[in-house]
């Protein structure tokens, strides 16, 4: 941590004997308000909106202009004091109202990507890591064309959904 800000979100810190501590404290609260359980209007926006409302946020695109210049990929939030920015950090997430999905930063903003080792619903694991490829049916003493077609379709669907290689 530097003497002036926190290491992750660059929140301002108070100093012993500092005058006007409420300004530093209020700035930190404004930034926390933007980042904590964040909701953004849209993602990848390069031009600030004309009439934002206090509390509205956007994820800045790669080529920002105007008041957003120099804040690529940050969360830009409008406050009573003007624009404030929270720099993107790995794992930072927000709900994107325009897309109706969660967006998360991993070297870039990912839209609607869920990262997990497994999915559990109602206490039962329903999806885990991808398994090895399943070979298509071949050979056999009696070939059932309909059964073979059904099995081939199931294997294709599992591959399409990324459940097997």
For the chain, what is the mean pLDDT? 87
What pLDDT is stored for residue 163 in this prediction? 79
What pLDDT is stored for residue 30 in this prediction? 74
- Say if residues 118 and 128 touch (Cβ distance below 8 Å): yes
Q: What is the mean pLDDT of residues 124-132?
A: 81
Percent with pLDDT over 90 in the chain: 44
- Say if residues 10 and 32 touch (Cβ distance below 8 Å): no
**Of the candidates 36, 72, 39, the residue with the CA atom closest to the CA atom of residue 56:** 39
CA distances from 44 to 21, 59, 138, 152 (A): 35, 6, 49, 41
Residue 7 has pLDDT above 80, yes or no: no
Residue 152 has pLDDT above 60, yes or no: yes
At residue 132 the predicted structure's pLDDT band, cuts being 50, 70 and 90, is: confident
In angstroms, the first-to-last Cα distance of the chain is: 44
48-57, 86-95, 140-149 — which is least confidently predicted? 140-149
At residue 1 the predicted structure's pLDDT band, cuts being 50, 70 and 90, is: very low
What pLDDT is stored for residue 162 in this prediction? 80
CA 13 – CA 25 distance, rounded (Å): 7
Residue 27 has pLDDT above 70, yes or no: yes
- Burial call 87-107: b when 16+ CB within 10 Å, e when fewer: ebeeebebebeeeeeebbbee
Residue with more model confidence, 148 or 65: 65
Sign of the CA dihedral 112, 153, 163, 107? negative
């Amino acid at each position: 941590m530097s003497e002036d800000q926190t290491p992750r979100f660059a929140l301002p810190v108070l100093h012993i004997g500092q005058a006007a501590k409420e300004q530093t404290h209020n700035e930190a609260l404004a930034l926390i308000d933007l980042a904590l359980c964040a909701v953004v209007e849209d993602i990848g926006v390069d031009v600030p909106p004309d009439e934002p409302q206090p509390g509205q946020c956007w994820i800045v695109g790669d080529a920002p202009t105007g008041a957003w210049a120099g804040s690529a990929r940050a969360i830009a939030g409008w406050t009573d004091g003007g624009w404030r920015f929270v720099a993107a950090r790995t794992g930072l997430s927000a709900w994107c109202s325009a897309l109706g999905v969660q967006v998360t930063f991993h070297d870039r903003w990912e839209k609607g990507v869920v990262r997990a080792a497994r999915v559990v619903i109602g206490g039962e694991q329903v999806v885990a890591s991808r398994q090895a490829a399943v070979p298509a049916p071949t050979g056999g003493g009696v070939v059932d064309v309909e059964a073979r077609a059904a099995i081939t379709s199931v294997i294709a669907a599992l591959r399409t959904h990324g459940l097997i290689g």
